[in-house]
């Protein structure tokens, strides 16, 4: 009814009611039905990032390396909201049943809600979202996490943040970020590369092709070195002397003239990830003279004897309390010794693959503290020593390692607890050979995404 003392209001009301009546009659005549969000049907209309019953990925769902969750949107009517797959978790963007979670969306009307599966038993190298763009935290800005949410080789691999000691806030640095925030430059000649590495400014240096270093060359602070496809540095090595905040990824190093990677003299916060190391005149990788807060991850070491030395000599007692190093998910492939050999320092060795190491795996000497866990030793006659040759013994704790066709480890003391410094997850060591073979070394990460 139209009630008003104003004649114009009464006319307007009557016109509106007449128009609505015409709309109802037209709908009745032509049989049109409302297909809005509240209709029911077998396919279920998609709303606000949810999915229909056909199981399509929700466009609004996202995977985050920091938060580690994927949340489905809301559907209407009888549609079903379903979140597929495990979530990326923690700093490394990995898939983990402990912290990763997937939450199904809610529905309206008669719809049902079904939560996706958690990451389950996937190792920290869980599969990265195939639909999204890699971010600094190793997550995804678009597509949902991979539907399996289980084991793989790309979760940690694609992370742009280190795990372990390189992630610890200390000595004025909150985290190892390399050249983040600086210019991105390209180097395909020795001249260009050496100029960029010697620059005082923060830089992200993209390396391409084979570059002959012609000896040991310096690398200054606040740099990220990333190899593009087939990037190789030969006939030399990198020396980090009193430097800090450096990232080196996806580069093959070969035929070093001294130590291929030399980190010394109070250098700190260095992350070396997804590189190949082979053939050197001395060691492949040395960390000495009070350097600290270093992570060595997902590298492939091969064709050499003296692999990794941490601690210069038995007389360098000033190294006590320094040399804090995390060594995880590396492949020591037929290298003979020093994986690593440690003096004085605190070193965490986990989820590495030791294969055919003829002399020994790990040595803790001169009261070093070494924790060795979740590793797979395959045909290694002496997995670990406490003390070696002229060097006195160090503490060495071992737990949850696999010794396949290998000897028994030497252990001593109580070492230290890595969790007092950082959070980490040790994957099932039985799975280590497979995901290390597929995930360690060059050619695994996306260098363009890693540069961001």
Candidate list 243, 338, 341, 343, residue with the active-site label: 338
Query: Is there a catalytic annotation at residue 338?
Result: yes
Q: How confident is the model at residue 236 (pLDDT cuts 50, 70, 90)?
A: very high
Q: Is the pTM of this model over 0.75?
A: no
Report H helices in 302-427. Answer: none
3 state SS of 173: strand
What is the torsional sign of CA 165, 248, 251, 286? negative
| 327 vs 350: CA distance, rounded Å | 6
Each residue's pLDDT tens digit, 342-389: 999 999 999 999 999 999 999 999 999 999 999 999 999 999 999 999
Residue of 302 and 145 predicted with greater confidence = 302
Say if residues 327 and 361 touch (Cβ distance below 8 Å). no
Please, are residues 266 and 170 in contact by the beta-carbon 8 Å criterion?
Answer: no
Q: Report the mean per-residue pLDDT for the chain.
A: 76
pLDDT at 30: 36
Distance CA 353, CA 189 (A): 34
| Residue 287 pLDDT exceeds 70 | yes
Distance between CA atoms of residues 294 and 326, nearest Å: 6
Q: Where in the chain are all domains bearing CATH 2.160.20.10?
A: 164-450
Q: Per residue, what are the HEC states of 362-386?
A: EEEECCCEEEEECCEEECCCCCEEE
For residue 13, give Cα distances in angstroms to 23, 25, 26, 147, 300: 16, 19, 20, 56, 81
Give the CATH class of 164-450: mainly beta
Q: Check if the beta carbon of residue 47 is closer than 8 Å to that of residue 73.
A: yes
Q: Band of the pLDDT at 160, cuts 50, 70, 90?
A: confident
């Amino acid at each position: 009814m139209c009630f008003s003392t104003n004649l114009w209001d009464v006319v307007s009301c009557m016109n509106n009611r007449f128009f609505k009546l015409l709309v109802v009659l037209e709908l009745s005549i032509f049989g049109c039905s409302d297909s809005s969000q509240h209709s029911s049907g077998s396919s279920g209309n998609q709303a606000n990032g949810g999915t229909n019953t056909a199981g399509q990925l929700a466009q609004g769902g996202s995977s985050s390396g920091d938060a580690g969750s994927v949340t489905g949107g809301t559907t209407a009517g009888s549609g079903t909201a379903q979140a597929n797959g495990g979530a990326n978790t923690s700093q490394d963007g990995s898939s983990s049943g402990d912290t990763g979670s997937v939450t199904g969306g809610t529905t309206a009307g008669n719809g049902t809600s079904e939560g996706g599966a958690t990451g389950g038993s996937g190792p920290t190298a869980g599969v990265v979202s195939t639909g999204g763009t890699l971010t600094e935290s190793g997550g995804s800005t678009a597509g949902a996490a991979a539907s399996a949410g289980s084991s793989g080789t790309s979760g940690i691999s694609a992370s742009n943040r280190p795990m372990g000691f390189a992630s610890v806030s200390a000595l004025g640095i909150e985290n190892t970020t390399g050249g983040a925030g600086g210019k991105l430059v390209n180097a395909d000649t020795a001249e260009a590369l050496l100029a960029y590495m010697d620059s005082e400014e923060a830089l992200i240096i993209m390396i391409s092709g084979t570059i002959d270093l012609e000896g040991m060359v310096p690398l200054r602070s606040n740099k990220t070195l990333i190899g593009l496809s087939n990037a190789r540095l030969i006939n030399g090595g990198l020396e980090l002397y009193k430097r800090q905040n450096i990232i080196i990824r996806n580069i093959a190093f070969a035929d070093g003239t001294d130590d291929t990677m030399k980190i010394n003299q109070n250098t700190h916060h260095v992350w070396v990830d997804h590189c190949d190391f082979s053939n050197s005149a001395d060691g492949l990788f040395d960390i000495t003279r009070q350097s600290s807060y270093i992570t060595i991850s997902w590298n492939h070491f091969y064709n050499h004897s003296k692999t990794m030395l941490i601690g210069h000599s038995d007389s360098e007692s000033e190294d006590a309390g320094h040399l804090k190093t995390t060594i995880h998910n590396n492949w020591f492939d037929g290298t003979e010794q020093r994986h690593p050999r440690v003096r004085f320092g605190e070193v965490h060795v986990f989820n590495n693959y030791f294969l055919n190491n003829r002399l020994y795996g790990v040595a803790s000497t001169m009261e070093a503290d070494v924790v060795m866990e979740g590793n797979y030793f395959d045909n290694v006659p002496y997995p670990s020593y406490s003390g070696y040759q002229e060097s006195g013994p160090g503490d060495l704790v071992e737990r949850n390692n696999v010794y396949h066709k290998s000897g028994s480890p030497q252990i001593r003391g109580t070492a230290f607890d890595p969790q007092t410094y950082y959070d980490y997850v040790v994957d099932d060591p039985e799975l280590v050979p497979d995901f290390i073979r597929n995930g360690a070394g060059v050619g695994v990460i996306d260098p363009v995404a890693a540069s961001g």
